[in-house]
Amino acid sequence: MSEDSEKEDYSDRTISDEDESDEDMFMKFVSEDLHRCALLTADSFGDPFFPRTTQILLEYQLGRWVPRLREPRDLYGVSSSGPLSPTRWPYHCEVIDEKVQHIDWTPSCPEPVYIPTGLETEPLYPDSKEATVVYLAEDAYKEPCFVYSRVGGNRTPLKQPVDYRDNTLMFEARFESGNLQKVVKVAEYEYQLTVRPDLFTNKHTQWYYFQVTNMRAGIVYRFTIVNFTKPASLYSRGMRPLFYSEKEAKAHHIGWQRIGDQIKYYRNNPGQDGRHYFSLTWTFQFPHNKDTCYFAHCYPYTYTNLQEYLSGINNDPVRSKFCKIRVLCHTLARNMVYILTITTPLKNSDSRKRKAVILTARVHPGETNSSWIMKGFLDYILGNSSDAQLLRDTFVFKVVPMLNPDGVIVGNYRCSLAGRDLNRNYTSLLKESFPSVWYTRNMVHRLMEKREVILYCDLHGHSRKENIFMYGCDGSDRSKTLYLQQRIFPLMLSKNCPDKFSFSACKFNVQKSKEGTGRVVMWKMGIRNSFTMEATFCGSTLGNKRGTHFSTKDLESMGYHFCDSLLDYCDPDRTKYYRCLKELEEMERHITLEKVFEDSDTPVIDITLDVESSSRGSDSSESIDSLTYLLKLTSQKKHLKTKKERNSTIASHQNAREGQEVYDRGHLLQRHKQSNSDVKDTRPNEPDDYMVDYFRRQLPNQGLGE
């Protein structure tokens, strides 16, 4: 890390509120040790004049408790032992002591989506007196808004789940990222579940993650979650719930798997508030008796998972050299938002020449798939491959892996503890209300004063569409060059992973409702390549992965493809760049043409003339202008190592194809039509799809392969 970037780190951390809540830490300590402490008595503890401080610690030495001063706090919040700090909850949240942990596992075969039989039932549960409430989390509604936080949440003795001493299932969700509000047993093996809305809101029900125990193997159980609010869902398109069995993990090393029969997503009766809700129902047979099992909407990735991951980096003598972990800010609940600076340390030369790349994730806490992409990115960029080394030598990566830890901890789907969507508040001046997005914007602003930021990408999950795709910002009103240029990176990504990433699903615009998003704010600050990457909760409709769910490894591999596409984008050999540009120009021309045909009654001859003179048309003089401009724009990349070696096979492929049209008109129209079809096979091996083939390369042996 150069001095320059070190300074940058300091300036990033303009943390205004370093004081921790004294009461909480002290109370916790005292309540645990009061009865054995010779120095403090219950009376003195209750004394209003008793000094309340976190600076005094008690240590048990030679048979007695001795007070000592705490060591000075690490200014960056990341201690020498790594970025592990206790998880803080809103004070009223009940949290069980048990640590929930899951093993990492990928199924050997891709897991197919559910094909409806047409015989699925749609259970409706009118209020019935015979039904038994078997789980109820009452603490969520104790306060109308966030008040204060505590390590470990509520201190009063926890309500114990009722053991009915029969075959009634027992439910639990009072753990990190858990979400379950209420469970009603409606029949012998049938349960009606309600998920908790995001804290301090009455909506955003989508994320669920809960534990089930006391089951019998081989019995068909039915679960129905009855309070979803979105009319459309991937559960209507074959997505299956995720299931985890501790016995399976222990005995067969099997982790999260897709399960369920009779899966159906449907509108149910209006609720008490008159709103319509949607139900998800499925049936399932547990593999073992008396197991401890979990169901979830997506592969969980908690704040503790992140802290453990970052600790691993921090304690690694190699990776910690080029990855500095700092605290960007504290959240409302005083959890830490981490920022990573990844670049090869420079001793003497000026690191300002290095351009910056910004990557963020988990602004929406229920979109855990974004964390798996982030993990894949970090695994790769901190790895020992020559490409990762090249990227670290070339760029400064600023990474905020979890923008909304509070939301993640309490099991929210979309909001922070302010009860708001942080990704609509990047323009807000309310630093105290939305610290993580305020400090992220501030960090980017400062970064841009020092170096060019070539790309910003915020990772998300998508609940209605398959595949992985991007949203960009429309530069069409600036110039045609910008209009096309911002599409190049997503197009390259689609060529590098054609069975996961769909270019045709990408959208480039700035809607009024999205003006507070990170993508639009960063774009308006001047970052041309400003993206939201959306990863489906379900799976792929493309190529060899068509009809299957994405595993965590699939999601992680997107982190690698992101890096690979970044190298393509900045490759001094501009062949791929210009091929993509040309393809985009062709695509644009034909999309415009098709649109005109669809929208107009004008005779064909007039339309053709109109398109020829259109400002976005592929007029040859304009093409030359844009190419000249881009050549200028990218000519300073000569210090980069060429990727010719890696791409020698590609180069020969290209020569063989020299002179061939990139796409003929018919193919382009067909391609555009594919964009509107979710089931069209775009298998890369089709003979006419050589552009896709052209980009295909072997994945490195880092466990990120498909």
Question: Which residues are identified as catalytic?
Answer: 534
- Which residues make beta-bridge pairs with 182? 136, 194
Tell me the window of 23-31, 176-184, 452-460, 560-568 that interacts with Zn ion (CB under 5 A).
452-460
3-state secondary structure 385-415: CHHHHHHHHHEEEEEECCCCHHHHHHCCCCC
Residues 537-566 within binding reach of Zn ion (CB under 5 A): none
| In the complex, minimum distance from the CB of residue 469 to Zn ion, in angstroms, rounded to a whole number | 13
Stretch touching Zn ion by CB under 5 A, among 237-245, 279-287, 456-464, 668-676: 456-464
Select from 69-77, 321-329, 360-368, 474-482 the region that touches Zn ion (CB under 5 A): 360-368
Query: Which residue has its beta carbon closest to Zn ion?
Result: 460
204 counts as binding Zn ion under rule CB under 5 A: no
User: Greatest CA separation found in the chain?
Assistant: 98
DSSP 114: P
Q: How far is the CB of 291 from Zn ion (least distance, A)?
A: 33
Task: Render the burial of 243-274: b for 16+ CB within 10 Å, e for the rest.
Answer: bbbbbbbeeeebbbbbbbebbbbbebeeeeee
Contacts of 220 (CB under 8 A, 6+ apart): 189, 283, 284, 285
Between 523 and 537, name the residue whose CB sits nearer to Zn ion. 537
Q: Tell me how far apart the alpha carbons of residues 376 and 428 are, in angstroms, rounded to a whole number.
A: 31
Which stretch in 362-370, 472-480, 609-617, 632-640 sits in contact with Zn ion by CB under 5 A?
362-370
Nearest to 369 by CA among 298, 471, 456, 458: 298
Nearer to Zn ion, 151 or 422 (CB): 422
Beta carbon nearer to Zn ion, 361 or 692: 361
Comparing C-alpha atoms, which of 52, 244, 619, 10 is closest to residue 1?
Answer: 10
Write the binding mask 366 to 405 for Zn ion: x where contact by CB under 5 A, - elsewhere. Answer: -x--------------------------------------
- In the shown chain, the binding pattern of residues 108 to 147 toward Zn ion, with x for contact by CB under 5 A and - for none, equals ----------------------------------------
Burial class of residue 616 (count of CB atoms within 10 Å of its CB; 0-12, 13-18, 19+) = middle
**Could you tell me if 274 and 202 are in contact, meaning their C-beta atoms sit under 8 angstroms apart?**
no
Quick one: which segment of 65-73, 120-128, 458-466, 645-653 binds Zn ion (CB under 5 A)?
458-466
Which DSSP symbol is given to 636? G
Least distance (Å) between residue 414 CB and Zn ion: 7
Between 182 and 364, name the residue whose CB sits nearer to Zn ion: 364
Size of site (CB under 5 A) for Zn ion: 3
Complex with Zn ion: residue 152 or 461, whichever CB lies closer: 461
Euclidean distance between CA atoms 452 and 448, whole angstroms: 6
Tell whether residue 460 is a contact of Zn ion (CB under 5 A): yes
Tokens matching residue 244:
């985890």
Structure tokens at 81: 């032992």
CB of 258 to Zn ion, least distance (A): 22
In degrees rounded to 5, what are phi and psi of residue 535? -110, 130
CB-wise, 88 or 460, nearer to Zn ion? 460
Shortest reach from residue 367's CB to Zn ion, in Å: 5
Distance CA 335, CA 338 (A): 10
Q: In 3D, which of 579, 619, 567 has the Cα closest to residue 387?
A: 567
Partners of 400 in beta bridges: 360
Interface pattern 291-330 for Zn ion (x via CB under 5 A): ----------------------------------------
Backbone angles phi, psi at 626, to 5 degrees: -65, -35
CA distance 320 to 66: 36
- Token output for 112: 């197919």
Least Å distance, CB 459 to Zn ion, is 9
Nearer to Zn ion, 364 or 465 (CB): 364
Q: Per CB under 5 A, does 519 bind Zn ion?
A: no
At residue 376, what is the residue type? Answer: G
Under the criterion CB under 5 A, does residue 362 sit at the interface with Zn ion? Answer: no
Tell me whether residue 367 or residue 554 sits nearer to Zn ion (CB atom). 367
Complex with Zn ion: residue 356 or 399, whichever CB lies closer: 399
Phi–psi pair at 66, nearest 5 degrees: -120, 130
What sign results for the dihedral spanned by CA atoms 184, 186, 190, 194? negative
Q: Which of 268/467 has CB closer to Zn ion?
A: 467
Q: Tokens 């299957």 correspond to what residue?
A: 548
Residue 415 beta carbon to Zn ion: minimum distance, rounded to whole angstroms:
11
What is the nearest approach in angstroms of Zn ion to the Cβ of residue 376?
Answer: 18
Q: What is the DSSP letter of 547?
A: T
Which residues inside 474-513 make contact with Zn ion, applying CB under 5 A? none
Task: Please report how close the Cβ of residue 232 comes to Zn ion at its closest, in angstroms.
Answer: 16
Distance (Å, rounded) from C-alpha 228 to C-alpha 211? 19
Our CB check for Zn ion shows the closer of 355 and 514 to be 514
**CB of 207 vs Zn ion, minimal distance in Å:** 12
Q: Which long-range contacts (CB under 8 A, 24 or more apart) does 523-526 make?
A: 523/456, 523/473, 525/441, 525/444, 525/445, 525/448, 526/448, 526/453
- Which region among 93-101, 187-195, 358-366, 679-687 touches Zn ion (by CB under 5 A)? 358-366
Asked whether position 364 contacts Zn ion by CB under 5 A, the answer is yes
Scanning 70-78, 356-364, 557-565, 575-583 for contacts with Zn ion by CB under 5 A, the matching segment is: 356-364
Rounded to a whole number of angstroms, the minimum distance from the CB of residue 255 to Zn ion is: 25
Helices 552-570 and 480-496 pack at an angle, to 10 degrees, of 130
Q: Which phi and psi (to 5°) does residue 467 adopt?
A: 70, -175
Summarize as ranges the residues that interact with Zn ion (CB under 5 A).
364, 367, 460
